[in-house]
Amino acid sequence: MRSAVVVGTGAIGTSIALALAAHGVSVHLDDVDSTAARTAEAMGAGTLLPPDGPVDLAVLAVPPAHIAGVLTRLQRSGTALAYTDVGSVKSRPQHDIEATGGDRSSYIGGHPLAGTERSGPLAARGDLFQGRPWVLTPSDRTERAVLNQALELVTLCSATPVVMDPVAHDQAVALTSHAPHLVSALMAARLAQAAEASIRISGQGLRDVTRIAAGDRVLWSEILRANADAVAAVLDAYAVDLGQAVTALRGLDSPDPEVRKRATDRLDAMLEQGNQGRARIDRKAGGPTADLAAVSVAITNQPGALARVFAAVGQLGVNIEDVRIEQGPDQPEGFVDLLVQREEAPRVARQLGAGGWAVGG
């Protein structure tokens, strides 16, 4: 990557620009807020001068609702060879792009899983994404060269690429980010009218559970709106569990020993499942770096070929941890290396082979 445009010089956009500039990429900054753009320029994130011709990659660091509009405008003026964004929701922009007649072949969705509690260019850091996951969501139209540009962007930002389907991504963040935000906000909301003595005797547990409830409510309203169905689905399931928890609590003192036993067992099972769910996060945090192995698959450079192989692996229930493509974008075909958990690799190779894919060493 030699040149890039970064649209939106908030904390995320400017952090990306700083990382790219540090690797010698020629970065052009663009923001409707000229103060923010000048601040980013002064921080060494790039230049406010427009590029001479099409850049290698345009990164849209704008709110999700603006992605399709900005993309279509940039594509019409031929700003870049490839386009990506950093929105925290991925299905909606895809639909918007289709609806506004944007070119899907030169676009790939992106979502770096990193953030700062502060906003604006001054909150930016070139190492913000270091070691963090960065989801890429190619559509069935995304060209391989575009995926490669995005993979290079992720690498230059020292992040770890994770390829996902846009819908699967949105369900995942609904579960791990958006629903927890509302769960936390609703708990904090119950404190708004609480007696002062209750607040006074509260401790670290409540502080942790409600920390994210302090988040910018305008931003969160936008995020929840953009992923409303997936969040509602998680909260529906949560509400069923909550109803059972309340029933169990009320059954603990029942005169009927059968009811008491069921209530006790139910409550214990919930606490146990809470332990298990939490342990998965702890394992992720403290665990060793993933032990990965590559499965090489021959693919043609046709729209949808990559998406089909991703889909085939996804149907095996296996997560693609990383992707390396072993050819230039202008070659007619080549190999893609899919990095998966080492113990999954033999099964992936076998099943893809059985499915008609040419699988190499």
| Residues in 255-274 that interact with a copy of itself by CB under 8 A | 264, 267-268, 270-274
- CB 236, min distance to a copy of itself, A: 6
- Site size with a copy of itself, rule: CB under 8 A: 93
Q: How many residues does the chain have?
A: 361
* H helix intervals, 45-137: 67-76, 91-99
Site for a copy of itself in 93-152 (CB under 8 A): 113-115, 133, 135
Site for a copy of itself in 179-208 (CB under 8 A): 179-192, 194-203, 205-208
- The answer to whether the beta carbons of residues 42 and 70 sit under 8 Å apart is no
The two beta strands, 80-85 and 55-60, are parallel
Among 81, 172, 298, 345, binds a copy of itself (CB under 8 A): 172
DSSP state of 319: -
Site for a copy of itself in 151-170 (CB under 8 A): 162, 164, 168-169
- CB 143, min distance to a copy of itself, A: 24
Q: What is the Cα–Cα distance from 323 to 338, expressed in whole angstroms?
A: 5
Q: Decide whether 48 or 175 has the Cβ nearer to a copy of itself.
A: 175
Q: Decide whether 30 or 85 has the Cβ nearer to a copy of itself.
A: 85
- CB 129, min distance to a copy of itself, A: 12
- CB 234, min distance to a copy of itself, A: 7
Site for a copy of itself in 274-293 (CB under 8 A): 274-282, 284-285
Q: Decide whether 46 or 251 has the Cβ nearer to a copy of itself.
A: 251
Q: Provide the strand spans (E) within the chain.
A: 3-7, 26-30, 55-60, 80-85, 107-112, 133-137, 160-163, 292-300, 322-325, 333-341, 359-360
Q: 3-state class of 166 per DSSP? A: helix
Site for a copy of itself in 34-63 (CB under 8 A): none
Under rule CB under 8 A, residue 352 binds a copy of itself: no
> Which residues make Cβ contacts (< 8 Å) with residue 268, sequence separation at least 6?
none
- CB 35, min distance to a copy of itself, A: 26
Going by C-alpha positions, the residue among 118, 106, 99 that lies closest to residue 15 is 118
Among 72, 155, 319, 327, binds a copy of itself (CB under 8 A): 319
- CB 117, min distance to a copy of itself, A: 10
- The answer to whether the beta carbons of residues 9 and 45 sit under 8 Å apart is yes
- The answer to whether the beta carbons of residues 138 and 114 sit under 8 Å apart is no
Q: Decide whether 22 or 259 has the Cβ nearer to a copy of itself.
A: 259
Site for a copy of itself in 214-243 (CB under 8 A): 214, 217, 220-221, 224-225, 228-229, 231-232, 234-239, 241-243
Q: What is the Cα–Cα distance from 31 to 50, expressed in whole angstroms?
A: 12
Q: What is the Cα–Cα distance from 137 to 85, expressed in whole angstroms?
A: 10
- CB 282, min distance to a copy of itself, A: 7
The alpha carbon of residue 91 and the mean position of all alpha carbons in its chain are separated, in whole angstroms, by 11
- CB 268, min distance to a copy of itself, A: 5
